[in-house]
Chains A and B, each alone.
Chain A
Amino acid sequence: MSTAQIHIHRAVMDDSLREAAATRAWLAERRLKMFNFIGSPGAGKTALLEALADALAGRLKFAVIEGDCATARDAERVAARGISAIQIVTGDGCHLPAAAVHQALADLPGGMDCILVENVGNLVCPAAFDIGETAKIAVLSVTEGEDKPLKYPGLFRKAGALVLTKTDLLPHLRFNMDTCRQAIRQINSAAPLFELSAKTGTGVAALADWLQAQTNPILQA
């Protein structure tokens, strides 16, 4: 028996890429921006969204899409700050699938300036799946160690902005900020880096300004 080669040259995640493209088109039609926050479990993504709710109040109207393996706790936390939040429960899924995000768009309230997505807590998988976002935002906390960017370069390479959070804890840790900055810059020399504490609010304003500038470039000019 002989064998035949069938050349197909087809993208491995082509259905997922199609959903992401549909989301991108949906956002473009409405002149909306969407930011995909990605970081380890407990890095402080929800705390950051809570801090942004305060920092952006009266400036930028945003809705939140939350992704977690189980529970609607994070959506409830964000909603408690007066932000519209939709929870996607992924079960075993280690990342938010593009299709689930696209479906959630229909449930968002109108009149928003941008959408902030909190992906499932995971440094690896969410970075591999495009959901149609304007930019990925990597969230690393200082308690995770300064070598994490080098160990998980995928996310840090793809990120359009980088957040180093929980800086209020620095006095209690052996964490070399310069080593961490250097590691980040080896991987991604261009994206802005925001060092902040969601707890004390230090540095959150700079990220809020950046988000506003990305969302309404004309108003900023």
Chain B
Amino acid sequence: MHEVSICQGLVKVVLDELTQRAIGAGRLKRVRVVAGQLHQLVPDSLTFAYELLTRDTPAAGSQLDLRMPPLLAQCPGCGWNGAIEPPVFLCEACGAGVEITGGDELFVEALEIDDL
């Protein structure tokens, strides 16, 4: 549901980079995005939104390559750390509330372009 709004931000960043780097239409092949599991993005929805929002832009036809790092947490109580499955944010060992240590990232990692 929030894939479209997040994708608007994503496309903005991509188009801005293409302009700044004077990369012409059609040269962008792939956009590598890292979206940690905390964001709970549905890959198909994001891909669909990406195709729609890049249509008729210099990024049209490029592929979205989505990496979704797992949600990692640490327990302030007993020191346990490991992967957790949303929606449960509790320590596996002692049941206390955990702190997120990974899986909350959301950024464009790289652009893959045709080298002229």
Are chains A and B native binding partners rather than an unrelated pairing? yes
Chain A residues near B (Cβ < 8 Å): 1-16, 93-95, 122, 124-125, 127-129, 149-151, 153-154, 156-157, 183, 185-190
Chain B residues with CB below 8 A from A122, complex form = 1
Interface size on B, residues (CB 8 A): 35
Closest chain B residue to A156, Cβ basis = B87
Bound Cα distance A102, B9 (Å): 18
Interface residues of B in 1-58 (CB under 8 A from A): 1-2, 5-6, 9-10, 12-13, 17, 21, 29-30, 33, 35, 38-40
Chain A residues with CB below 8 A from B40, complex form = 153-154
Given A9-B107, A10-B13: A150 and B114 within 8 A (CB)?
A: no
* Cβ-neighbour of B97 out of A1, A93, A188 (below 8 A): A188
- Structural contact, B109 and A12, CB atoms closer than 8 A: no
Bound Cα distance A154, B39 (Å): 7
Nearest 4 A-B pairs (CB), nearest first?
A189-B97, A153-B87, A13-B9, A125-B2
Chain B residues near A (Cβ < 8 Å): 1-2, 5-6, 9-10, 12-13, 17, 21, 29-30, 33, 35, 38-40, 86-90, 96-97, 106-116
Given A12-B10, A125-B5, A128-B39: A153 and B86 within 8 A (CB)?
A: yes
Chain B residues with CB below 8 A from A4, complex form = 112-115
- Structural contact, A10 and B108, CB atoms closer than 8 A: yes
- Structural contact, A186 and B88, CB atoms closer than 8 A: yes
CB distance from B95 to the nearest CB of A (A): 9
Given A12-B107, A125-B5: A6 and B86 within 8 A (CB)?
A: no
* Cβ-neighbour of A10 out of B17, B35, B89 (below 8 A): B17
- Structural contact, B110 and A187, CB atoms closer than 8 A: no
* Cβ-neighbour of B113 out of A6, A9, A11, A150 (below 8 A): A6
Given A13-B106, A186-B89: A6 and B111 within 8 A (CB)?
A: yes
